[in-house]
Structure 1
Amino acid sequence: MRDDAKPSADVGGAIDPPPSPKRRGRPSRHGLKREALLEAAAGAFNAQGIAATSLAEIAERLGLSRASVYYYVNDRAELVFQCYQRACELMAEDLAAAGEAGTGLEKTLAFINRALTPGRAPTAVLSEVNYLSPAHAEVVRTANDRNVAALIGFVETGVADGSIRPCDTEVAAQTIIGTLAWGRLSPQWMEDSRGRKFQARFLAAAIDLLTSGLTTDAVRRFEGPIDADQFLPKRFNPFDRQDASDMRIEQLLTAASRLFNRDGIEATSLDEITASLGATKGVLYHYLRDKTDLVARCYERGFDLFERFAAAADDHGGDGLERALIGTHLNVQAQAGALTPLVPQPGLDALPHPRRDALVARARRLALLFDRLLRRGVADGSCRPIDTRMVALIGAGGFAWLPKWLPPDDPRGPRRLADEISDIYFRGLKAR
């Protein structure tokens, strides 16, 4: 699906961002143009995905000729690399500045505040690192790993100094990073979610949620009562043609969703998907028209599962807060286990509009459902007063980012991870 030249592998050491970046001075005119190019590209990549964003489109957005864009990058792959590199550099700057704060909790919150500052220029979500050449991908991974380690260090400092309660520090740091990523992706899925007013509200709700959690009972720990494996497909009759066909489609959609979640949609080829099943592309084309159809079908399967989780949470929970958190718990289990529904990715705007609009409508209905459950929790006293609409939206960041960092052989297991992430939302990180 790539329409640009092969990515360059010449990456020398100078492009690796330094461990402790200095604050930027006033950029040159050349630097300002490059910043504008990377900001426009990052916004487009987040909304449309890589495949649907061309250099010509970026040039048109900026009122430049395509030749002018080639002054800064050789091809689209290099533009993606520079956007990812810039995102890592800015995160490193935010971490360095936040490190000047006092306690571990204060450092963590200062970082979130900087990263979600309203009106800040867009940065690319690192969802397609495998799209890059191996050398460029290694540069981005090294920079990102260093940033993640710094944030984990903030949380560990907080646990040591008593400002953050004991927790799995890696899970806490990655949940924060997932929240930041979702803050950049959520506007394309939700109505009235663009502009500084929404950004300010998202920031305030995220800080409140991650600091203090949702519960009015600071002693109790949340543990989900439902096992997500019960939502796995039931046994089928291999001698029934329709049953056998449905199962093969389910296997295709599950395998594709798992790879899309881990590596990104553009970075995952149809060959990789079919190879993971020991099949050929001919089998895939027997059931699906093309990759766009496959992506849309994966999203539709994903929302089928999200809606089933929400219904189960509403049926099995006691108070309003428990019902809302059961949904989160099931979604984490699903991403860490065998279900792996396709989570919201960059590139929604590239889908055909009738299917895109239907998916957005389903996402909004789910957000409204969890908003209603949280409002019920506030009313029944199980949930403290919060911005329920924003919290219902923010919760997706905890499970949607999970496939990007969780190793396939992670010893914690789906239920333990679900308990840990749900408990971050339940009690927050602040020691009480």
Structure 2
Amino acid sequence: MRYNEKYERILEAASVLINEHGATGMTFADVARDVGLNTTSITYYFQRKEQLAVACYHRSIDRLESFIAAAEHLETARERIKGFINANFEDLLKIRMGEAKNYAGFSELRTLNEKAQEETQARYRSMFRRLRALFGVPANEREHRAFTARTNVLLENMYWLPVWLERYDIPDFSRVKARMFDIFDHGIAATDQIWSPHDISLDAVIPDVVGKNSLENFLRAATMLINDRGYRGTSVERIAAEINVTKGSFYHHLNGKDDLVVACFRRSFDIIARSQQTADEAKGGYWPHLTSSIATLLKVQFANASPLLRSTARQSLPAPLRALVFDESTRLARRYAGMMMDGIAESSVRPIDTLIAAQMIMSMLNSAYDARAWANRMALPDAVELYATTIIFGLFQPVAD
């Protein structure tokens, strides 16, 4: 009994440290200090730090699987997905009230060695397939693809939820949960709306590269590497080698890696803002403005060599910079909220909580990077539409052949 209690306390402390400093920044000494043990006691449970990190990630997967298990017995897909969301909110409420400890996020999973990654990712894929099964048995390949997109968007929203839910008080949790599920259930579109965004050129939203030593070239390379390898797995040397320039060229533009991550985020936010502005300048009402911005950014995420930086990279930053990044992200989310409020006024958008819907849109756009392989199996316009409609029309709309 005491063994299990100490084991769980070690995982809880290590998970907090992974979220604050990454898997490589978490140390046995810090874990021991936080649980009131000595370092030797930690090695009794875990011989290597990487074993402890893997155990923390498996604990996080266990948590998600427990939410799935609580919903699997329910009769309809709508009830099952609602049960999964409810379980997430109940757990976040316990964490907020100090009745449960937080869990390790998956952003630094890519920094583990290959064997540890494979083991953990195999478990994650199994959890993903089990969650996808809550939508039911797909009738054909297109419905299978739609269920995959819906699962990816749902999971990403659950990962992003604790970040923006911090701005809400505990008495608001039930209201936020109901309004979030309403959007997942029915989407944001009014009943007579269709998916018909304007075609916006990516040249209008993505900055030009002026010379291989330009800051834009560094930020493009860094964004791809951080997305694929995580913050800790990306070095200045690797970025410089990726674009065949000297390490000194990097320091001509930036002072260090924290500055680099902030610059990558600002570049990504600038791309989002450009898509919003360009869409607003097009003809038509607010509905095509909103959907055109979303479609453009999904094209960036799926098919362009210059995607947006994954929001998980903010986890690697010091607390003040994490707050700065979130504030800038929220500013753009509020612009989407404003678009939707205008859409409600013109009756093209359902009456919804636009602030919550805006965070869900930002999360959906962010998650699209991890769906690149999924998108490459179909025509780009089809992939964009199938992914966007998870929020536009909801998770349960029939899938057209």
TM-score bin, normalised by smaller chain = 0.7 to 0.9
- The match for 2:240 among 245, 270, 274 is 274
Partner of 1:177: 155
Alpha-carbon separation, structure 1, partners of 2:27 and 2:279: 42
Contact 2:301 2:307 in 1 (8 A): yes
Structure (1 or 2) with the greater helix fraction:
2
* 1:326-383 residue CA offsets vs partner (Å, 9 max, x unmatched): 3332332222222212132254473483x55543432232222222222222222111
Contact 2:110 2:228 in 1 (8 A): no
Following superposition of structure 1 onto structure 2, how do residues 23-422 of structure 1 map, counting pairs within 5 Å?
A: 28-50=1-23, 53-117=26-90, 118-120=92-94, 121-157=101-137, 160=139, 168-186=146-164, 192-193=167-168, 196-197=170-171, 199-217=173-191, 220-234=194-208, 243-244=210-211, 248-316=214-282, 318-336=284-302, 337-348=304-315, 350-351=317-318, 353=320, 356=322, 358-407=324-373, 410-412=376-378, 414-422=380-388
Pair 1:31–1:178, CA change in 2 (3 A):
same
Give the CA deviation at 1:80: 2.1
Of structures 1 and 2, the one scoring higher in RCO (CA 8 A, sep 6+) is 1
Alpha-carbon separation, structure 2, partners of 1:54 and 1:142: 25
Alpha-carbon separation, structure 2, partners of 1:87 and 1:418: 30
Instruction: Determine helix, strand or coil for the equivalent of 1:168.
Output: helix
TM-score normalised over the length of structure 2: 0.83
Alpha-carbon separation, structure 2, partners of 1:50 and 1:184: 20
Contact 2:153 2:363 in 1 (8 A): yes
Alpha-carbon separation, structure 2, partners of 1:184 and 1:92: 18
* 1:236-259 residue CA offsets vs partner (Å, 9 max, x unmatched): 7xxxxxx537x6321111011012
Contact 2:219 2:264 in 1 (8 A): yes
Alpha-carbon separation, structure 1, partners of 2:26 and 2:283: 43
Give the CA deviation at 1:122: 2.6
- Alignment root-mean-square deviation, CA: 3.2
* Residue identity opposite 1:420 in structure 2: L
Alpha-carbon separation, structure 2, partners of 1:205 and 1:393: 12
Contact 2:265 2:309 in 1 (8 A): yes
* Residue identity opposite 2:306 in structure 1: L
Alpha-carbon separation, structure 1, partners of 2:136 and 2:198: 26
Contact 2:46 2:52 in 1 (8 A): yes
Instruction: Determine helix, strand or coil for the equivalent of 1:119.
Output: helix
Alpha-carbon separation, structure 2, partners of 1:196 and 1:112: 16
Give the CA deviation at 1:181: 1.6
Pair 1:101–1:369, CA change in 2 (3 A):
same
Following superposition of structure 1 onto structure 2, how do residues 9-28 of structure 1 map, counting pairs within 5 Å?
A: 28=1
User: Structure 1: any 5+ residue segments left out of the alignment?
Assistant: 1-27, 237-242
Alpha-carbon separation, structure 1, partners of 2:144 and 2:347: 26
Partner of 2:98: none
Instruction: Determine helix, strand or coil for the equivalent of 1:401.
Output: helix
* 1:72-97 residue CA offsets vs partner (Å, 9 max, x unmatched): 43454333211111112222232233
Of 262-271 and 144-153, the range deviating more from structure 2: 262-271
Give the CA deviation at 1:138: 0.9
Pair 1:62–1:198, CA change in 2 (3 A):
farther
- Over the matched positions of the two proteins, sequence identity in percent amounts to 23
Alpha-carbon separation, structure 2, partners of 1:338 and 1:207: 34
Pair 1:93–1:131, CA change in 2 (3 A):
same
Contact 2:197 2:291 in 1 (8 A): no
Of 371-380 and 106-115, the range deviating more from structure 2: 106-115
Partner of 1:12: none
